[in-house]
Structure 1
Amino acid sequence: MFAFTVARRYLFSNPLQTVLLVAGVALGVTVFIFITALIAGLAVLLTDQVTGNSAHVTLDPPTRVARVLPGAQPIESVALVSTVQRRQIRDWPRIEGLLRAEPSVIAISPQITGSGFLVRGEAVAQVEVIGLEPQGIDAITPISSKIISGSNALGADGLLIGERLAQELGLYAGQVVLLRTERNAERQLTVKGIYRTGLQSLDERVAFLSLQTARPLFDLPEGVTKIEIKLNNPTTAREEADFLAEATGLRAISWQDKNLDLEGALKSQGQTGTLIQIFSLISIVIGVASALVLSAYRRRPEVGIMRAFGIPSGFIAWIFLLQGLLIGLAGAAIGCATGYGLCTWLAGLTRADGTAALPIAPEQGGYVAAIVLTTLGAVIASVLPARAASRIDPLEAIQQ
């Protein structure tokens, strides 16, 4: 306790220097928290943008490869893909039942997908056709809330198309259009609704119809071409995909594997944030070390007197280590409070359309890490001044 009292008196003997030193540490911690919250917020925003209108895990039919019979002459095996019969998931109702029993799965959408052409007079547009169950139209992509004309009621001959596709063909809700599929099947359908998601890939080239309407158009009387899944935690999609692939025997693809460029960008973004955090901690260490080195030099006579009275060198070193500890704790506490307040204020700023002006997550500022690392860094920074002070020769110091 006596060492603590001495360390505190040393700090308060020059209040302006101590205040500036604590303010410098607090500023470094504020930057640390701001960068951490910003990186986390950007990661959440990008993940939501990618997964908000797409599946977290997609189940596809397994790829069958020709095998070499036992005892046969070794030959190179090749994948045999039929150009007549489409690969499909025939027992999809059973698999859907298994998926619904999984607590991590929150939405399931069996689909028949394929390509085709929408024909209106002389205007022709290539489209990706998705056939799904009408009651599950919003399971993966929230289409109903994006309808700008008409309704989401597909029915037996209904079709939902994007705003850009409708503009390209001059279509409107209630108009009849011809759909010609890749299987040379065609049928006249009614545009029940027009949606606008803001995603060009959807608004320009995707048409939705009911699963039963899609079956004869793509020659799939029983099966489906894929099953899309939403999870309660998108970040676990890769692990869930591995589990579902083993449980169902199908090919399971996570959204991360479909967006490797995004994953790489998030990693690079995180590494950049880590570098900025490291530099913030280095500036804290340098600031504390330089201030305590100066303090140790200025207090050489006092240290020499204490040593002359028989105070051990370990006690002297402990005084300077406690100064570093107090500076680190005070600066970290003030910096965490300031950083949280700054991040909360920035998170509340909005644009004219009501969206957040800055993607920042105040609750993910890494406050515990900031306090621990800052305090540890300040203590480490005080090691050199502490060793220098403990090695002062009493006679030489008193003579100065």
Structure 2
Amino acid sequence: MFAFKVARRYLLSNPSQTLLLIAGVALGVTVFIFITALIAGLAVRLTDQVTGNSAHVSLQPATRVARVLAGPDLPVESVALVSTFQRQQIRDWPMVIDLLRANPEVSAISPQISGSAFLVRSEAVAPVAVLGVEPQGIDAISRITPNIIEGDGDLGANGLLIGVRMAEELGLGAGQSVLLRTERGVERQLTVRGVFRTGLQSLDERVAFLSLQTARPLFDLPEGVTNIEVKLKDPQDARATARFLGEATGLRATPWQEKNVGLEDALKAQGQTGTMIQIFSLISIIIGVASALVLSAYRRRSEVGIMRAFGVPGGFILWVFLLQGLLIGLVGALIGCASGYGLCIWLESITRPDGTSILPIAPRQGGYAAALVLTTLGAVIASILPARSASKIDPLEAIQQ
């Protein structure tokens, strides 16, 4: 306790220097928190942009592999060919849906029939990726009906929803008819019920939606579905959930990360860059605290020498300077955490006209506990060298100076 009083007295004896030290530590912590919150916010925004209109986990039939046949009745090895004409499908999809609904991590489910087709209107022909969905679940994966700019989202028996780019390419509008020719050679006249604009070129230009029942005869799938798309409450759980669903259902479960390897690599590189900046912030704090305490130890050589001459042990002197580092680091870290959180909250409040934040920052993910612990620990480590130096001062030499 006495060592703490001496350390506090040393710090208060030169308040301007102590305030500058604490301000420097607080500034470093503020930078640490800002970078951490910014990188976390960037990761969240990029993930939302990629997964906002796509599934977090896709379930598809297991890949069939050709089997090698060999036996006494076969003179040579033969290969059992897998038919490419008959589409793979999930026949027991209602059971899979029940399993998914029982999973607390799942937020939305969309059984689908997907296939390729052409839209034909007069002499204009456009390739299109067709998604047959349950009419009540059309917005389960992508927000389509809120983005309809013409018509409505009522698919009905012969309804079709197309993107605005495709509508412009074919000169189509709500209420007009168009011929759909599927990859199976089946043709059907459909009516455009609505035109949507999501802002994603892949959706607005090449995707059309129709009801699941309408898609069945078009793609020769009277019972099953081709895939089941799943949304999760936390996109970062996609890998673990996909692994569980694959083992539980026997289907091929693909998390969104495997479809966006480039994004995952970019997020990792971004995180590594942020870590380097955080490390340099901590190094600057350690150097600042160490240099100030070295100077303090030099200035107080005579005082330390007198204490040593009166029999004060070197361990006590060591503790005095360690406690100075602890107090500087702890107070500076607390102030830095508070100022960093305030800065992040203020930056988050600056929004665009559409309500989104200008900076993709996540104030609640600023790493405050890590900043507090690492900064305090760093300040204590920084004080070790001057503390050891002060504890080894020769009393006679110090008094004579």
Name the amino acid aligned to 1:148.
Answer: I
Q: Contact 1:68–1:74 at 8 Å: present in 2 too?
A: no
8 Å CA contact 2:113–2:226 kept in 1: the answer is: yes
Deviations 1:263-304 (A, max 9, x none): 111111111111000000000000000000000011100000
In the TM superposition, residue 47 of structure 1 has moved relative to its aligned partner by 1.1
Q: Count residues in correspondence.
A: 400
Aligned to 1:217: 218
Contact 1:11 1:18 in 2 (8 A): yes
User: Where does residue 40 of structure 2 map in the other structure?
Assistant: 40
| Matching of residues 47-126 of structure 1 within 5 Å | 47-68=47-68, 80-126=81-127
| Secondary structure of the corresponding residue to residue 188 of structure 1 | strand
Q: Are residue 366 (structure 1) and residue 367 (structure 2) matched?
A: yes
Change in 2 beyond 3 A, CA 1:176/1:327: same
CA RMSD of aligned residues (A): 1.7
* Aligned-partner SS, 1:112: strand
Q: How far off its partner does 1:126 sit?
A: 0.7
Tell me if structure 2 keeps the 8 A contact 1:155–1:210.
yes
Q: What SS does the aligned partner of 1:44 have?
A: helix
Match of 1:18 in 2: 18
Corresponding residue number in structure 2 for 1:161: 162
TM-score, normalized by length of structure 1?
0.97
1:35 Cα shift? 0.4
Equivalent in the alignment of 1:170: 171
Shift in Å, 1:354:
2.4
Shift of 1:338: 0.5
- Aligned mates of 1:202, 1:120 — CA distance in 2: 20
The CA deviation string for residues 342-364 of structure 1, in whole angstroms up to 9 with x for no partner, is: 00000000113322111101111
Q: 2:7 corresponds to which letter in structure 1?
A: A
Would you say the 8 A contact 1:179–1:189 is kept in 2?
Answer: yes
C-alpha distance in structure 2 between counterparts of 1:362 and 1:76, whole Å: 64
For residues 163-200 of structure 1, what are the alpha-carbon distances to aligned partners after superposition, in whole Å with 9 as ceiling and x for unaligned?
A: 11111111111111111111111111100001111100
1:363 & 1:84 partners in 2: Cα distance? Answer: 53
Shift of 1:77: 9.3
Taking the aligned partners of 2:241 and 2:280, their CA distance within structure 1 comes to 37
Question: C-alpha distance in 2, partners of 1:99/1:8?
Answer: 61
SS at match of 2:283: helix
Q: Distance in 2 between matches of 1:257 and 1:296?
A: 57
Shift in Å at residue 257 of structure 1? Answer: 1.1
CA distance in 1, matches of 2:61, 2:399: 86
Q: Which structure 2 residues correspond to residues 186-265 of structure 1 after superposition, within 5 A? A: 186-265=187-266
Going from structure 1 to structure 2, the CA distance change for 1:79 and 1:240 (only over 3 Å counts) comes to farther
Please give the TM-score of this superposition, normalised by the length of structure 2. Answer: 0.97
State the 1:79 CA deviation. Answer: 8.8
Q: Distance in 2 between matches of 1:66 and 1:169?
A: 41
How many percent of aligned residue pairs carry the same amino acid? 78
SS at match of 2:55: coil
Letter matched to residue 27 of structure 2 = L
Indicate how the Cα distance of structure 1 residues 77 and 297 shifts in structure 2: closer, same or farther if over 3 A, else same. Answer: farther
Using the TM superposition, name which of 239-248 and 86-95 deviates more. Answer: 86-95
Moved more, 372-381 or 169-178: 169-178
Deviates more, 1:163-172 or 1:62-71: 62-71
Answer yes or no: is 1:151 the counterpart of 2:152.
Answer: yes
- What's 1:8 paired with? 8
- SS at structure 2 position matched to 1:173: coil
1:306-345 → structure 2 map (5 Å cutoff): 306-345=307-346
Report the alpha carbon displacement of residue 135 of structure 1 after superposing the two structures with TM: 1.0
Aligned to 1:297: 298
Question: What is the letter of the counterpart of residue 257 of structure 1?
Answer: E
**2:56 partner letter:** H
Partners in 2 of 1:318 and 1:399 — Cα distance?
24
Aligned-partner Cα distance in 1 for 2:146–2:395: 80
> What per-residue deviation string (whole Å, max 9, x for no partner) do you get for residues 122-180 of structure 1?
11111100011111111111111111110000000000000111111111111111111
CA 1:272–1:77 in 2, change beyond 3 Å: closer, same or farther?
Answer: farther
Equivalent-residue separation in structure 1 for 2:265 and 2:318 (angstroms): 47
Are the equivalent residues in 2 in contact too, given 1:68–1:75 (CA < 8 A)?
Answer: no
SS of equivalent to 1:148: strand
Give the deviation of 1:83 after TM superposition: 2.6
Gaps of 5+ in 1: none
